[in-house]
Structure 1
Amino acid sequence: MAIMRRFLRLAGCVVAAALATSSCGSGHHESASATHPARSATPSPFPSSDSATSDPHGPSVHRAPTISPDGITALVSGASVEGDAIYPIPGGIKAGKTLAIAINCQGPGRLTVQVKPTSASFPLLCEKGRVLPTMNEIHMAVNHSTSSLHFASEPGVTWSFAVGWDPDPPKQQ
């Protein structure tokens, strides 16, 4: 299971890096946001967590994604969130570190995530009846004593997330 999570995480980073030049430690720090939505790199091997026959360990919007198997300690998380929300990042942003943001979303529409006060952001397209897990990692170039995650969600989208500093980020290419 940990190998599958790591694979999905790395695959998601590859797609996210192609869409957002500031993602996954790509070397372009705090660049403009992507104009194309990010998607999970591969279809989820798990059915929607809302069905009666679903895997209880599969992705869910009703609990925060688990990032600890990847060695990441969650700083802040949320579950069953609908609409727009702002979550402070405890301790602010640390230059040279990689911020890992795991998100599960479900429902027809878009969820956009911004890391403030940087210009790093990425959109996600969510689907009705299916929980889509995504992991995005953003290399931070500048310290900010206060920072926050801003989520903008279209109506009908439900989501959960967990955020932490990745002690072993993917290698830059």
Structure 2
Amino acid sequence: MAITWRAARIAVCVFTGALGVAGCGSGHHDTPSATRSAHHTAPPATPSTTSATTDPRSPSVHKAPAIGSDGITPLTGATSVKGSAIYPIPGGIKAGKTLAIAINCQSPGRLTVQVQPTGISFPLLCEKGRVLPAMNEIHMSKDHSTSSLRFISEPNVTWSFAVGWDPHPPQQQ
């Protein structure tokens, strides 16, 4: 079963009063999403398989999520990562833009993503034998010439990610 990022998006909203930053992800860019605390919502259960007949569009930790198909301009990404890591956001953070972070994770454990230096973070709970896709979009209110994504992972979790700027972010409520 093919899972598109639009179908797999999480409705996640993060509001930080001191920073004036809000992030939202939804099933469609033109559909308002409900305000929720940051959490991971898994797509419907699908059988896990490693055979050669695996759908190439299925989420995988061995390839970066394909965020470009949603009109998002990709900046950077990584595949088959185990453990914690830090990746710079090329060009820094631009006020008024929406940062889209897509992640695939697998194996039991927790993966936390921090957008530095904004103070925004969100956790993901990963499962054994199943690749879980997640998407979070965060509207940036301040410029930061130097910024990065910090991933804090339990040692057994394998993950991949892609990050980019979304020119058509979901509507905020």
Which TM-score band applies after superposition, normalised by the shorter structure?
0.7 to 0.9
Deviating 4+ runs (over 3 angstroms): 1-4
1:134 deviates by: 0.3
The residue that corresponds to 1:127 in the other structure is 127
1:36-74 CA-to-partner distances (Å, cap 9, x unmatched) read: 762135325x544x5214222100000000001100121
RMSD across aligned C-alpha pairs, in angstroms? 2.1
* Inter-CA distance 171–135: structure 2 relative to 1 (3 Å threshold): same
Q: How high is the TM-score relative to the length of structure 1?
A: 0.82
* Inter-CA distance 170–37: structure 2 relative to 1 (3 Å threshold): closer
SS in 1 for 2:74: coil
Q: In the alignment, is the contact (CA less than 8 A) between 2:39 and 2:124 conserved in 1?
A: yes
Q: How high is the TM-score relative to the length of structure 2?
A: 0.82
The residue that corresponds to 1:65 in the other structure is 65
The residue that corresponds to 2:167 in the other structure is 167
Structure 1: runs of 5+ lacking an equivalent: 26-35
SS in 2 for 1:102: strand
SS in 2 for 1:134: strand
Q: In the alignment, is the contact (CA less than 8 A) between 2:2 and 2:57 conserved in 1?
A: no
Structure 2: runs of 5+ lacking an equivalent: 16-21, 26-36
The structure with the greater share of residues assigned to helix is: 1
Q: In the alignment, is the contact (CA less than 8 A) between 1:47 and 1:131 conserved in 2?
A: no
2:117 aligned with 1:108:
no
Instruction: State how 1:92-107 maps to structure 2 within 5 Å.
Output: 92-107=92-107
Amino acid at match of 1:145: S
SS in 2 for 1:69: helix
1:74-122 CA-to-partner distances (Å, cap 9, x unmatched) read: 1010000000100000000000110000000001100000000001100
Q: In the alignment, is the contact (CA less than 8 A) between 1:93 and 1:140 conserved in 2?
A: yes
2:140 aligned with 1:140:
yes
